[in-house]
Every structure is written in structure tokens, then in C-alpha cells.
Amino acid sequence: MRVLGIESSCDETGVAVYDTEQGLLAHQLFSQVKMHAEYGGVVPELASRDHIRRVVPLTRAALKDAGLNMEDLDGIAYTSGPGLIGALMTGAAIGRSLAWGLGIPAVAVHHMEGHLLAPMLEENPPELPFVALLVSGGHTLLIDVPKLGEYTVLGESVDDAAGEAFDKTAKLLGLDYPGGPLLAKLAEQGDPAAYRFPRPMIDRPGCDFSFSGLKTFSRNTWDKSTKTDADKANIARAFEDAVVDTLFIKCRRALEQSGRKTLVVAGGVGANKRLRERLQTLKAEVFFPRLEFCTDNGAMIAYAGALRLAAGACEEPVIQPRPRWPLTELETI
Ligand code: KG4
Ligand code: ZN
């Protein structure tokens, strides 16, 4: 079964073709980062308008790369939530219409299920059951996954997502949007002994997170500093160390409490080098997507949709994106 996947939930347009027998055939991505950088964050209306411009050319390019025509497709998968409503509407409307026109089924994919399944696209995919750490700009979740589609939340952020905290702290340090990768780069020059930031909520039972305090801690430290470039790098390093350490401690706890032996890490912050290195030291098998599939992409949506369509997913032909959509509401595949 050949499935076209369309991702348009935020500021990246991704289109890919996944074949259930041959694997990933092609993927195309356009990032709107430059457009939003000017405003210091994603402008939803600009995002929607740009998705409209990109989806069709990217679809043509992906099909060309895969050596396929529209008629060779057996299904369409599109991100239906969570995300920005206008941005989601674009992918959903184009995906549904295309499927309608071609007389093939379409499936609404949960963006976080896409992230969670992204490591399955690698050569050595994880085996179920596992615990998943989903760390993106909008979510920080620890999920127990006994079966595909069956998700139990073990812990989540009670305030800012890890990626959001990276972006806000980066902004405070004068870095461009999205600041996560830039802050990580700056942290490389920082002295790890200069400051020690707290590890929020590690003394409380359970696997919940809180990252908004770290952002405030960064601001207070910056305000009290002499505001040199070295101070900036030292704060970036202390912040990154605190986030990485906290995520590590909670992952270790989630594995212990669930008795699982495998950890899957996904989402934009999963591209963080120091986090990847630290999580590899856990007494568990740890799986990550390749770097380009940590952040938003069409491949993960094509893959998640292909699994659901191959399992017989049959949906009403309605365009109904969900800006908020709990992962726990999904049906087992
Ligand atoms: O998954 P994603 O592309 O979009 C959402 O679904 O939110 O994640 C984007 C987030 C941003 O907050 C970005 O700053 C963060 O992932 N990010 C990183 C790194 N690369 C991306 N954070 C820390 N270190 C990185 N290397
Ligand atoms: Zn994402």
C-alpha cells in the first residue's frame, strides 16, 4: 500500500510517500523558519498561507522522486491535530480533497503519534512494548506504549514544553527563532561549572515535568550577570544541562515504574546532541529517529497513516482538524 503523507500543523510543510512493502520512497520538506524569525515566533496566519503555497508543489516533487503518479497512490494521510487550526485546515482540506478526487481512503493522523512512530522508519526499529519520550515545541510527554495506538500518559509537563522553554530562554539570550538548536550550539562554549540550575520536580513522585521555572531562573541569572558573551554561553549551558538531566531522571523513573526495557525518543528536542548522549547511558535500549525526522516532517505522517490504513481505518469524508487532541483518545491499530 502506497500512502502520501502531508504534515502542516505548524511551521513546516512536509510531504512524503511511504510504501508498506518498500518503506519510505520519498520525502520533501519546506521550513518556514526564515519567514517567522523576523517576528520572533510563528505567526499562525502567515503559516497557513504558506502551507497553501507549498503543499501541491511538494506533493508533485515527492511523487516525482518516488517515480509515481497520483494514480499509483492507495491512500492519503494528513496531520489533523494537534496544531494551529489554519495550518491544519490546509493539509486536511488538500489531503481529503485529493483522496476524494482519486477515489482512495484518507486518514486523519495525530501529529504526536507521527513523532512517536518516527523511529520505526530507521533500519533498526524498536520493538513493542516501549516507553516513549515525546519532546517537542508544544509537548513534553512520557507515554507507555504496550501496543500501537494504545497510549497511557506516564507524565507530562504541567506548564511549558521542553522545546518551548528552550525557545523562550534562547529569546532571552538574544538568539533567533527557533532558539532551541541555537541555544544548544551556544551551550557548547559554556563552562558547565559556572552555574547550577535546579532540576524541577525531581523530588516529587511520578513523571511530570515543569520547565517554566527554568526560564525564569535563566532570566534572573542573566539580570544579575555582567551580561558578557561568556555569561550568555554559561547560562545556555546551565539551562541545557538542567533540562537534559531532568529528562534523563524522569525517563529512568518511567522505565523503572513501567518495567519496560526500551525507550523511544522523538520530537524536535530529540535532536539535541547532549540529550541523545545522556539518554544512551540509561540501562535500556534507546531509539531515536535520524535528526531530520526528529523535527516535523511528512515521513512520520505517511508512516503512521499507512499503518492505520493498512489496518483498515475507514473514516467519514469530513475535514475536521483538532487543534487540541489528546493522544490517549486514539484507537489501537
Ligand atoms: O517537533 P518539532 O519540530 O515541532 C513541534 O511539534 O513542536 O519541535 C520543535 C522544537 C522547537 O522548540 C525547537 O527549538 C526544538 O524542537 N529543537 C531543539 C533542537 N532542535 C530542535 N531543542 C534543543 N536542541 C536542539 N538541537
Ligand atoms: Zn512536531
Instruction: Tell the residue nearest (CA) to atom 8 of ligand 1.
Output: 268
Q: In this predicted model, what pLDDT tens digit does every residue of 134-166 receive, in sequence order?
A: 999 999 999 999 999 999 999 999 999 999 999
pLDDT for position 308:
98
* Helix H or strand E encompassing 328: none
Strands (E) located in the chain: 2-7, 12-19, 23-31, 75-81, 106-110, 130-135, 140-147, 150-156, 262-266, 285-287
pLDDT reported for residue 61: 98
135 and 225 co-located in one domain: yes
- Write down how long the chain is: 333
Please give the distance, rounded to the nearest whole angstrom, from the Cα atom of residue 136 to the centre of ligand 2.
6
pTM score, two decimals? 0.97
The verdict on 18 and 62 lying in the same domain is yes
Q: Name the band, by pLDDT with cuts 50, 70 and 90, for residue 258.
A: very high
Q: Are residues 87 and 172 in the same domain?
A: no
* Ligand 1 interacting residues, C-beta cut-off 6 A: 10, 136-138, 163, 166-167, 178-181, 184, 267-269, 271-272, 295-296
State the ligand closest to the CA atom of 292: 1
pLDDT digits (tens, 9 = 90+) for 224-257: 999 999 999 999 999 999 999 999 999 999 999 9
121-148 as b/e: b if 16+ CB within 10 A? beeeebeeebbbbbbbbbbbbbbbbeeb
CATH code, domain with 30? 3.30.420.40
Q: Is residue 139 part of a domain?
A: yes
In a domain, 305, yes or no: yes
Beta bridge partners of 26: 17
Report the nearest atom of ligand 1 relative to the CA of 275: 24
Q: Please, what is the Cα angle at 314 between 324 and 76, to 5 degrees? A: 75
pLDDT computed for residue 79 by the predictor:
98
Residue 150, domain member (yes or no)? yes
Residue whose CA lies nearest to ligand 1 atom number 13? 180
Residue 122 included in any domain:
no
Residues 101 and 64 in one domain: yes
Q: How confident is the model at residue 127 (pLDDT cuts 50, 70, 90)?
A: very high
Q: Are strands 140-147 and 150-156 parallel, antiparallel or unpaired?
A: antiparallel
Centre of ligand 1 from the C-alpha of residue 167, in Å? 8
Q: How far is CA 11 from the centre of its chain?
A: 12
Q: 213 pLDDT band (50/70/90 cuts)?
A: very high
> Residue 114 CA: which ligand is closest?
2
Is residue 7 assigned to a domain? yes
pLDDT score at 8: 98
> What pLDDT, on a 0 to 100 scale, did the predictor assign at position 156?
98
For residue 298, the enclosing domain spans 2-117+293-329
List of residues 6+ apart from 194 with CB closer than 8 A: 234, 237, 238
